[in-house]
Every structure is written in C-alpha cells, then in structure tokens.
Chain A
C-alpha cells in the first residue's frame, strides 16, 4: 500500500458539490475503477483520504490536493488515467505523486490565489485599500463572528479588469489552518473602507494553493 497526493480541478459543472458530497463521490469513483482503497480499521471501515483545503460551495478550482491511501503500487500516470476514467464530468485529476520519501506536506500550505468576479456599485479603488495599515472586518471563525484585522493576510490584490459594473480581481490570501481568509472578507473591507463602494454577488475561482510561493507540484 502507498499514500498518494492527487492534484485535481473542478469546473462550473460540479462547483455546487459540498465537501462531504465530494468525499462520497470520490469513494464511489474509486469503487468504479480497479484501484483498491486502504480502508480504515474499526467498526465502520471507510476509505482513508484527506482533502487539503476543502473548497467552499460555488467555487471552481485548478488546484485541489488530497492525500489517499491505495492498496497496491500504481505508477503516478497509471493512477491519473485510471481515476480520470471514473470521475464524474467536471472533475479532472491533474497529477499524482507518491507521498513517501518526498517533501510534500499538505498541512504546510498557507496561501491561495483567487480570481474573483465581483458585481459592484460606486467606485472601486483597490490600490488605496492596500496602502492601509489595517483592515478590520467582521469575520467568521471557529469561536463565532469577530472583528479581525485582515490586512496582514492579504499578500496581493490587483485589478485585472473593471467595466464599471463587474470588477475582476486577482488576490493572494492566507489559507489553511493558521489563518484562513476568504475573498468575501476582502470585498467586505473594500465596502467598509471606501465611501462609495457597494459589493454585490461574487464568483470565485481558485488558481493555486501554495506553501509560501511554491505549489506542491
């Protein structure tokens, strides 16, 4: 048996699938293939898998990672093609790496790059936002909704496109266990720190997850 890290994407077609539903979906996909899972021991055996940073409902992504135990030695390419043959349309396994003997630690992933389309009214000024020393917004955490200074966790924020109604932004934000910042909080800050900006609906796409400035693979 070996542990593998899989990198995969999900597109528009499957972006409303919740994390728990994805776990079940992946179990079923593996059952459809000839690959064997490693099952957990105990009362209710279930396949062993960990998703690095579960994606919010409605978000598309090019860069999801999960760790899975498979019973058998499969080559990395073999695994990618076997899994792609059984995943529902909308998911794509991009690459696989054997976890043993390599320096891949998914818990060290600490930031993510997003492309965000944001409907707005008023005037958008991301430049002046980034010049501020602190950006305090209400933010949900494990212990409830609290004020938090999100400025240190916005590593970059740039405007890719602005048609007066929809703003296309590229942002690099802290993610993971230590501090997790969602693009919605950045929009909240834009609203709070300008006199004339109202944020509306947003579409989010995750471009990459990194450890400092490097993708795992």
Chain B
C-alpha cells in the first residue's frame, strides 16, 4: 500500500532517522499505560542517540508498566519540509504517533544553541510554545540537563525543570502525574503545585522576577506557597548502585558515538575554574569495576557493538582503572572489540594501556592544556604543566604516534597577547620535542593541530561574573595566533566566535530572552549549532526588533553583589566558594584537587563520593 509516510521517507536523506524500530528499542501497547512520555532531544538523531542521559532515562521510564517513554528528535530541514507538505506533525519514533497530546514531554538541555530547535519542535507539534498558553489537554513540558541550571531564557516555555540527576526525580514527577491524571486532570496548576515541593523541581511560573533600573535582576520571589525559596539539585548518593541500563538501542545508521558507553564516574575532582560540568556534577562518585564489568558484558552482548568507550570527565582519576581495563581487555581481545579511552592523562600506565588497545593503528592523541602559559593555566586551575605535555609527547612520538591535537581556549579571564602567543610557543616546543628524537626512533610525518574555542563564562563556575571577550577581541587574538605560528607542520583551527557570542548571551541570560528566542524562530532561526543553518544576522535583527541589547549579558563584569538570574538554584557548591576561587584566579593561585585536599566547596553536604573517601 502506498502511504504518505513512504512518500515522505523516500524524499529525505537518512530516512532511518525517522523510522524507529531499531534493535532494543522498547515497544509497548500505548493503550495499556497511564503516561505517554516523549523524551525530546532538540537536535538530529545522530546527536541525540549519542547522549548517555537519554539512554538512562528512556530505559528507566520504560521499566514502569504505567509509562511508555518514546524518543522525539528534531527532524532535519528536508524532513521538516516534507512533513509540512503532507500536514504531518512532530511524531514519536517508536509508534510514529504525533506527540501533540502526549502526557509529558521532557527535553534535555545540553547546550544553549538548541533553544531555537525546542521552539521549532513545539511548532511542528502544533503545541503552544508558552507554558501559560497550554491547558491540560497539552503535554506537561519539562526540562533537565546542564542548561537547566540557568534555564531562565526558556523559562516561559517550560512547565517545570528538574535540577541535577534525573534517575530518581523523573519517577517522582511521573508518580504525581499519574495521581493527577486519575483525579480527573482538571487544572494544570494543581499538578505543578503537587510537584513543586519535590526536591530538585523548579516551576518557573511560581516565581516572579523583578528587575532594577539598570536591567539587572532585583529579586526572584515565590508566588505560590508550594514553591521553595531555593531549589536544590538532586544527586545519586549511591552512584554504584544507581540505575544504569543493561540494554542499549542500536541505531541502523551511524551516529556520533556509535558504541557502548560505560559511565565509570560522575563528577570531577579537578576544579578547573571555567568548567561548568566540573562544578555542577560534584561530588565525584565512582562505580566499582565489578559492577562496570558486569554492565559492559551485558551491553556488548545485547548490542553486538564492536567498540566500548569509558565515559567520565577525567578517566585517569578513576581509582579502579587498572582493574577495570584488565577486565575489559579480557573481553575485548577475545571478541575483537575496540576499547576507547577518552580523557586520559598521558603517563606510563596509560601509554602501556594504549599500546594494548591500539595494537595496529595509532590514531591521534589530544591534549587540552586550555591555555598557552603557565600563568594562565594557574588562573584557570588547569592542572597540567608544560613539562607534563613535553614529556608525554616525547613518549608518544617514540611510541609511534604522530598526530597530536592541542586544544586551547582564547578569551579566558586575565588573558594577554603574551598568553595567546604562548599557545604558538607551546605548539612549537612540542614540534621541537619531535625533532630532538633521533630519526630512527620516531615515526615519520608529524602533524600538530592547534584548535582554539572561545571562552564562554558559565553560571555556577568561578568565572560566572566575568566579562566575555567581544567578537572583535577574539578575532584579534585569533589573528595574533595565526601569525605567531611559524611552522607549516602546525595547523591552526579556530571556532566561530558568532556562535560563542550567542551561547554567552543565553548561558547567563534571564527571562527577558524568552521572547527573543520565540521571535527568532518565527524569523526562521533553527539548528543554530549547525554552521550551514546558523543565521547570526537574523538573531541580531531579532534582538534589535525587541529592544534587547545582547551585550548586556556578555560584555559586562558583574559584581558579587548583583543578584544573578540563577541565584535561587542551589548546586551544592556555595557562592562563597566560587567567589574565593575567582579571587584566587585573579592572583593566579591554584586550588588542589579534591583528593589532595578538600577546599570546602560545599558539595560534601550531599554526603557521598570523594568527600568521604
């Protein structure tokens, strides 16, 4: 039978993005559940299916017999056109049903540049974008993930946000939903009241924001008796025992991370001052090698994947690394499975490990010194020194590696042109290390790639008060670096500063940006994370149209007295600690990592992890 679905799918690229039916996806009878939940990721299938959080929440929700969680992703532009042509609305992958009247939709907010896609997806679903325009016949729309910590720019869109780790809280809000639905589901506000007391739940419409004459936030005041004055993030205290799926959907087409991902730890003990993940996921908690090996075995068996990767913010800090990798190598060597080890510090142990896992091909190695001089690395508390890098690269070049990538940020607080030129000097020193090795002891054809991204100050970091470099300043620095790199064996890539600028606006934005985002989508903005679709001019025109100056959010150094739009959120790390870190940064003083010495950030109040080792 000829169907519209066939006509649509035959006309688009990568149709398996939209068909569902992959191995291990969950099929249920929708009429047998109370809650139809759409797990939404506002980007393409390939990005969405690489996200670990989706895998966890999808499977834990589907273990409930009263809930059916399906996946909903942003259709690529060709698919959007076809859908509009045939009057097809945004649909869920598993059943193909439109999501317009699902019970709940949960968006994961992984990066600021996905905001336009969220609005676009709601438009495609025929769902009113603003929370206040949706009655109880529409889905309850919630959000979580790193950007939820300051989700003020999308606060008007969402009914509620979940702060912190979702494994438990998601069940609590679904439980309340079931109760509300069974009680007749008359008034959406009743549901929101019932969840507002749950730790970690933030209902933005229960808070009024007032502004000062200069545009800064004056106050954020609860307007409902159920609303907490501070919303504290959720943490899985027993991380080793916490839910982790033992099955994994295997996509038909290739996705970005097309492999088994094993989450060995959550949180990071390093305390890099620019890194939001390093602060918001505190405290560091580990899984035991035994649990991980058992999960790895099940995931590999049920998927047939030929690659497994360890996932964490800093794998070298994982105490059970040797035991885990020894165990994994037993599985992987026999079954010809590749083991990839990202975010590993280079030392003798890791080099020996890499020799074992990469028996044949020696692919590239990436270092992230982040800054070009020791002074600036001390400012950002990036605990890696020049000597480490040069010693490691010497080992690598002697071991046969020839592709070295060096990642840096430009625009960091206190950065001078000397620091920028320091990037070129460091790359040159790495090259000198190579040439200092006798020809017969090194591999041929060295390649060094220097990449810079532009620093964007993020909420809940030591630099949350900092001024972001203007685009002109960043361009000047990029040009300085270009001319400071002399060797043709060093390639330089830089990140577009327009997207960093917009990211900076939203990262520390407030509720007044909601109108801009919704209007920008009306004006045609979407897929801002994709170079071919990002339309900076239209964004700027939209800010102008609504009389909002985006520089207000980026170009100003904030004072410690200022009420920040996210001050009513509590990540466990205290503002006092962040101020202290920022002051130490100005003096280029470093802070030891959590295992060396506790610096009293506040995360120990969660009663778990590295704080109690």
Interface residues of B in 503-537 (CB under 8 A from A): none
B residues less than 8 Å from A31 (CB atoms): 300, 304-306, 335
Tell me which residues across on chain B come within 8 A of A32, comparing CB atoms.
Answer: 301-304
Give the contacts of B1-59 with A (CB-CB under 8 A): 1-2, 6-7, 9-10, 15-16, 19, 21-23
Name the residue on B nearest A45 (C-beta). Answer: B336
**Set A25, A58, A90: member contacting B10, Cβ < 8 A:** A58
A85 smallest CB distance to B (angstroms): 12
| A129 beta carbon closer than 8 Å to chain B | no
Within 8 A of B (CB), among A63-97: 86, 88-90
Q: Which residue of B lies closest to A58 (CB)?
A: B10
A39 within 8 A of B: yes
Are A16 and B15 in touch, CB under 8 angstroms? yes
Interface string of A26-43 (1 = CB under 8 A from B): 011111100000010001
Cβ A28 vs Cβ B21 within 8 A: no
> Is A143 an interface residue, CB under 8 A from the partner?
no
Contacts of B252 in A (CB 8 A): 14, 16-17, 21, 25, 88
With known contacts A28-B250, A31-B335, A45-B336, A90–B306 Cβ distance under 8 A: no
* Known contacts A17-B252, A21-B252; A88 and B23 CB within 8 A of each other: yes
Q: Which residues of B contact A29 (CB under 8 A)?
A: 304
Closest A residue, CB atoms, query B3: A203
B253 is an interface residue with CB less than 8 A from chain A: yes
Is residue B361 within 8 Å, beta carbon to beta carbon, of the partner chain?
A: yes
Complex: A27 Cα to B301 Cα, angstroms? 13
Whether B417 is near chain A, meaning CB under 8 Å from some CB there, is: no
Q: Are A119 and B2 neighbours in the complex by a CB distance under 8 Å?
A: yes
Complex-state Cα separation, A1 to B185, whole angstroms:
63
The interface residues of chain B lying within 8 Å CB-to-CB of A202 are: 2
**Which residues on the A side are within 8 Å of B10 (C-beta)?**
58, 201
Contact A27 B22 (CB under 8 A): no
Given A32-B301, A32-B304, A45-B336, 10 further pairs, Cβ under 8 A: A13-B21, A14-B252, A21-B253, A25-B250, A25-B252, A27-B306, A28-B303, A31-B335, A89-B21, A203-B2
Does B360 count as interface, using CB distance less than 8 angstroms? yes
Chain B: residues with Cβ within 8 Å of the partner, total of 27
B2, B15, B304, B305: the one contacting A201 at CB < 8 Å is B2
**Interface residue? A166 (CB, 8 A):** yes
- Across the two chains, which residue of chain B brings its CB closest to A24? B254
- Nearest Cβ on chain A to B156's Cβ, whole angstroms: 38
- In the bound complex, residues from chain A placing their C-beta under 8 Å from that of B304 are 27-32, 86
B22: A residues at CB distance < 8 A: 88
Task: Assess whether A57 is interfacial by the CB under 8 Å rule.
Answer: yes
Cβ–Cβ contact B15 & A57, under 8 A: yes
Q: Which of B2, B7, B302, B360 has the most CB of A within 10 A?
A: B2
A207 to B504 Cα, complex, angstroms = 57
Q: How far, in whole Å, are A127 and B290 apart by their CA atoms in the complex?
A: 71
On A, residues with C-beta under 8 Å from B are 13-14, 16-18, 21, 24-25, 27-32, 39, 43-45, 57-58, 86, 88-90, 117, 119, 166, 201-203
Say yes or no: A16-B361 contact (C-beta < 8 A), given A32-B301, A39-B336, A57-B15: no
Min CB distance A169 to B, Å, is: 13
Q: Which residues of A contact B361 (CB under 8 A)?
A: 43-44
Q: Nearest A residue to B7 by beta-carbon distance?
A: A201
CB distance from B162 to the nearest CB of A (A): 33
B21-A88 in contact (CB<8A): yes
Q: Return the CB mask of B476-516 against A: 1 if under 8 Å, else 0.
A: 00000000000000000000000000000000000000000
In the complex, residue of chain A having the shortest beta-carbon distance to the beta carbon of B253:
A21
Scoring A25, A58, A202 by chain B CB atoms within 10 A of each residue's CB, the highest score goes to A25
> Chain B, 275-319, contact with A by CB distance < 8 Å: what is the 0/1 string?
000000000000000000000000011111110000000000000
Q: Roughly how many angstroms separate A130 CA and B375 CA in the complex, as a whole number?
A: 83
> Can you give 19 contacting A-B residue pairs, CB < 8 Å?
A13-B21, A16-B9, A16-B15, A16-B19, A25-B250, A28-B304, A28-B305, A31-B304, A31-B306, A31-B335, A43-B361, A44-B361, A57-B15, A58-B9, A201-B2, A201-B10, A202-B2, A203-B1, A203-B2
- In contact, A90 and B21 (Cβ under 8 angstroms): yes
Inter-chain CA distance A44–B19, complex, in Å, is: 31
Q: Which residue of B lies closest to A28 (CB)?
A: B304
In this complex, what residue of A is CB-closest to B24? Answer: A88
Q: State how many angstroms separate the Cβ of B250 from the closest Cβ of chain A.
A: 6
Instruction: Specify which chain B residues have a CB less than 8 angstroms from the CB of A18 in the assembled complex.
Output: 16, 253
With both chains docked as a complex, state the minimum distance between the C-beta of A54 and any C-beta of chain B, in angstroms: 15
Are A44 and B360 neighbours in the complex by a CB distance under 8 Å? Answer: yes
CB-CB < 8 A to A39: which residues of B? 336
Do B16 and A21 touch across chains, with their CB atoms under 8 A apart? yes
Expressed in whole angstroms, the minimum distance between the Cβ of B239 and any Cβ of chain A is 29
What are the interface flags for B239-265 relative to A under an 8 Å C-beta threshold, 1 for contact and 0 otherwise? 000000000001011100000000000
* Complex contact B16–A17 (CB within 8 A): yes
Q: Which residues of A contact B336 (CB under 8 A)?
A: 39, 45
| Chain A residues, Cβ within 8 Å of B16 | 16-18, 21
Interchain nearest-CB distance for A99 vs B (Å) = 24
Task: State A76–B602 Cα separation when bound (angstroms).
Answer: 64
Contacts of A13 in B (CB 8 A): 19, 21
CB contacts (< 8 Å) of A44 on chain B: these are: 360-361
How far is it, in angstroms, between the C-alpha of A93 and the C-alpha of B21 when the chains are bound?
18
